[in-house]
A and B are shown apart, each in its own frame.
Chain A
Amino acid sequence: MSINRRQFLRLAGVSTVLGVGGASVLSALTGKGEAVSQTTPHFTTDPRAITGKRWGFAIDVRKLKTDEDYQKCISACHDIHNVPDFGNPKDSVKWIWKDTYEHTFPTVTEDEIMNKELKEKPFILFCNHCAQPACVRVCPTKATYKRKDGIVMQDMHRCIGCRFCMAACPFGARSFNYRDPRGKDANGRPFIRKENKEFPTRMIGVVEKCTLCYERLAVGLLPACAEASNGAIVFGDLEDPNSEVRKVIDANYTIRRKPELGTQPSLYYVIGGRE
């Protein structure tokens, strides 16, 4: 007996419907369907997190009066992030540091006569979290990348230690772990003086840098340097015209480091205007 095309299609359709329907009826009867009522595991953001479009800083070094004020900002960062101190400038690892006017703004033409305070005051420096970061363009593994909120992040899990980013960064904001940060120096002093148990260390052979306290922003805290700076470092969203940074930038004369390179740094140094 042979069937014609119409009979075949009817048979195929009916058996498909029965098959599909039958399977669901069967699973409902045997209780396998219960899995559907469970939550599918997923990830969400902490409700306390601070969010923005492009994080930036306005830094008024005139408010950092003594050496202690600088040191407070630096150790606030280095202590919580387990930044090692190798005691040797060649190997040094730094997330935030201070330097002279000439080193901070080397491409600004020097005036014959210049404000003495400006010229002699140390500047506080850290990653500029550029809008067009050169380091991100050269990273072969995307270990460093730009987050949605403007943070130039460093994923230590992915870093292969090629140091392209260090060559690309015009601001010297990146450091390489030439030695094991968990090690000890010749006198038996550990390179990380006091470990913060809530934050990882790094390992030998990776590049590290300021991560704009992403772990603090995620739980609603301000960056550690801004918090310790007593108002000298103002943090906020550069794309929000009502943010505190924008107000400081609007009210004062500010300069950025090497703007001619076109990386669009997000650190604004207040050098004049209202106190």
Chain B
Amino acid sequence: MKNAGKVVIGVVIGFVVVFGFPFYYNLGKANVPPKLKYDTPAILQYEKQYGKKECVESKEFMSAEHMQLLNQWRDAVVRNGDRIYVNSRGESFHMSLQNTCLNCHSNKKEFCDKCHNYLAVNPYCFSCHIVPKEKQS
């Protein structure tokens, strides 16, 4: 073959162009993590009363570990019949996704879904647990 070198180079370039597509296609597009909204009436009311916004645990813990925490809550409530969670600050909470979590975070679309869609995860909590009504946006 006379042009073996050129063919090989062509193949390599073709390979880079095709398989590198996702990289250069998204190059320069800022991959902005979603901004979650903490402005539901219940949260604003809490802030007014206590002067701060806080969840059952620290914000860092909740964003990283809420799925494990919810699993523990589920097992404690359904399996062991324990309904009270005492957090690291010593405060007690009624363990309930529907009645405690969603009571403050009544904006599933702006809160749960924002992050879950960004990370392409699809938890099926809400096929049974009822979500509070919110306006279509």
**Closest Cβ of chain B: how far from A25's Cβ, in Å?**
25
Interface of A is mostly: loop
- Knowing A155-B78, A155-B79, A198-B98 touch, does A39 contact B86 (C-beta < 8 A)? yes
Q: Which residues of A contact B72 (CB under 8 A)?
A: 43
Q: Which of B15-23, B30-38, B40-48, B122-130 contacts A (4 or more CB under 8 A)?
A: B122-130
Expressed in whole angstroms, the Cα–Cα distance for A42 and B76 within the complex equals: 10
> Closest CB of chain B to A60's CB: distance in Å?
29
- A sample of 6 more A-B contacts (CB under 8 A), given A155-B79, A156-B128, is A42-B86, A44-B84, A182-B127, A197-B98, A199-B130, A201-B128
B99: which A residues are within 8 A, CB to CB?
198
Q: How far is the CB of A206 from chain B (nearest CB, A)?
A: 8
Which chain B residue shows the least CB distance to A156? B128
The answer to whether B128 and A41 touch across the interface, beta carbons within 8 angstroms, is no
In angstroms, Cα B95 to Cα A40, docked, is 16
- CB pair B88–A40 under 8 Å, yes or no, is yes
Q: Mark A178-219, 1 if CB is under 8 A from B, else 0.
A: 000010000000000001011111110000000000100011
| Residue A38 lies at the interface, judged by CB distance under 8 Å to chain B | yes
Is A200's CB under 8 angstroms from B130's CB? yes
Q: Closest CB of chain B to A225's CB: distance in Å?
A: 20
Which residue numbers of A lie inside 8 Å of B, CB to CB?
A: 38-46, 49, 82, 145, 147-149, 153, 155-157, 182, 195, 197-203, 214, 218-219
CB-defined contacts of A199 to chain B, threshold 8 Å: 98, 130
For chain B, the count of residues having a C-beta within 8 Å of the partner chain is: 28
List of A residues within 8 angstroms of B81 by Cβ: 45, 49, 147-149, 214, 218
A–B complex contacts, Cβ < 8 Å, 30 sampled: A38-B89, A39-B90, A40-B88, A41-B86, A41-B87, A41-B88, A43-B76, A43-B82, A43-B86, A44-B84, A44-B86, A44-B92, A45-B81, A45-B82, A45-B84, A46-B83, A49-B83, A82-B130, A145-B79, A147-B81, A148-B81, A155-B78, A195-B130, A198-B99, A199-B98, A200-B98, A202-B128, A203-B124, A203-B127, A218-B81
- Given the interface pairs A155-B79, A157-B74, the reply to whether A43 lies near B95 with Cβ below 8 Å is yes
Q: By the criterion CB–CB under 8 Å, are A41 and B83 in contact?
A: no
CB-CB nearest in chain B for A155:
B78
A41 and B92 CA atoms in complex are apart in Å by 10
Docked pose: A198 CA to B100 CA in angstroms: 10
Closest A residue by C-beta to B73? A43
Contact assessment for A157 and B84 in the assembled complex, using a CB-CB cutoff below 8 Å: no
The chain B residue sitting closest to A219, CB to CB, is B83
Cα–Cα distance between A219 and B84 once the two chains are bound (Å): 11
Tell me which of B82, B85, B86, B128 contacts A200 (CB under 8 A): B128
Is B80 interfacial (CB 8 A cutoff)? yes
Q: Note all chain B residues with C-beta closer than 8 A to A214.
A: 81
Could you tell me if A41 and B85 are in contact, using CB atoms closer than 8 angstroms?
A: yes
A153 near B78 with CB under 8 A, answer yes
B14 within 8 A of A: no
Q: Does B10 contact A (CB under 8 A)?
A: no
Query: Which A residues lie within 8 Å of B130 (CB)?
Result: 82, 195, 197, 199-201
Query: In the complex, how many angstroms separate the beta carbon of B30 from the nearest chain A beta carbon?
Result: 37
Residues of B within 8 A of A39 (CB): 86-90
Selected from A46, A147, A203, A218, the residue in CB contact (under 8 A) with B128 is A203
Name the one of A46, A82, A149, A197 contacting B84, with C-beta atoms under 8 angstroms. A46
